Amino acid sequence: MSHGFDLAERLRTREDRDLRRHLEVAERVAGRTRLAADPKAQAAEFDEEAVIFASNNYLGLADDSRVQRAAELGARTVGTGAGASRLVTGDTSLHRALERDLADCKGTERALVFSSGYAANVGTIDALDPDVVFSDELNHASIIDGCRVSGAETVVYDHCDVADLRAAMDRRSPAADEQWLVVTDSVFSMDGDVAPVSALCDLTERYGAWLMVDEAHATGLFADGGGIVQRAGESDRVEIQLGTLSKTLASQGGYVAGDEALVEYLLNAARSFVFSTGLAPPSAAAAREALRIARETDRADRLWDRVERLRSGVEEMGYEVLGETHILPVLVGDRDDALALDQGLREYGIVVPAIRPPTVPEGTARLRVAPMATHTDADIRQCLDAFRAAGEEVGLL
């Protein structure tokens, strides 16, 4: 009898269910890079350069020389790692400077940075210890895990459906002292659509609940470097604004922005903050410089220009593009067609990942096109030409 783990068998099961994932190595984080199939323990052997329309580095700041210099300076002046939890000796001037800027951008009293957006979501929901969480059905896995870890009763409402949420809140009439949390992504990463933040504020106010908005995909791209909460003018009505430093802000880490009591409570009670080493100082410095660039330059306008050209170009060919943001999910439907289109685009040097069930509902397989502000006119043309040629080859056009 064995009490060990048969991982090869588990991997086979995943393979059989079409759920086995594979790594691919990128030479650099940029709009164009060479890629290599998973070399396992060997050194990577890179293919020809490809144009990447699959990164969350939306403003293309991960290889921006200003951001690189900020990270370098952070490493040299403060250190490469925080060396301890923020509560011990890992709290540095760079963390504080970034938190001041984030709070200013989000219109809140304070902000607190975590070592990832994942850690921010799990730590925050767990620390709040709500009696009930109302959660959008398409919320990110880190929100779902936060609900699980907290042990709260979790009520999942239909995607962006305020009427369904309201009905769920009505049905679940609260005991007098219950504490309720409504949580939603702002921009949904697989659908490119946007949560109805103002309507959610109305509802949470009505029930005396709190609203938590995960701006992972929106931070840095909307009003003055803010997210959807700022675009909606609701900074004062959303109790918890949360996001990541790893997408538009071209770094690593997560943040929570809110009032003084929220931040003071989380730095005491969020286990993923208390028991994890502080964010690496170069990451804090890089994110701060990226936030400055997002707020003070026209970088975001350049992204929206590329988004518009790609969306209209792909739609004119006859594809259906979902959503209303910088994330362009090109609907294909059948999972095998989506994979074939993904492969076909690669033949033309364009990388766009196929997103298949169970990540998205059956029959809604799609290609998630993520333009970057740094894509050139030639990159956009190459992408559009590839969508036409590969689409015709696969029989979608």
Q: Which residues are catalytic?
A: 189, 217, 247
Select 218 or 373, whichever has its Cβ closest to ligand PMP: 218
Cβ of residue 313: shortest distance to ligand PMP, in angstroms? 26
Smaller CB separation from ligand PMP, 191 or 239: 191
Q: Nearer to ligand PMP by C-beta: 181 or 394? A: 181
Does 255 interact with ligand PMP (rule: CB under 6 A)? no
Q: Which stretch binds ligand PMP (CB under 6 A): 159-167, 214-222, 289-297, 333-341?
A: 214-222
**String marking each residue 178-207 x if it binds ligand PMP according to CB under 6 A:** -------x---x------------------
Nearer to ligand PMP, 154 or 189 (CB): 189
Q: What is the largest CA-CA distance in the chain?
A: 65
Q: Least distance (Å) from ligand PMP to the CB of residue 56?
A: 7
The reply to whether 254 sits near ligand PMP by the rule CB under 6 A is: yes
Please tell me whether residue 146 binds ligand PMP under the rule CB under 6 A: no
State whether the Cα torsion 68-74-76-82 is positive or negative: negative
Q: Say if residues 249 and 217 touch (Cβ distance below 8 Å).
A: no
Does residue 244 touch ligand PMP according to CB under 6 A? yes
Among the residue ranges 212-220, 306-314, 337-345, 378-386, the one whose residues contact ligand PMP (CB under 6 A): 212-220
227 binds ligand PMP (CB under 6 A): no
Query: Shortest gap between Cβ of 208 and ligand PMP (angstroms)?
Result: 26
Q: Which residue is nearest to ligand PMP (CB)?
A: 117
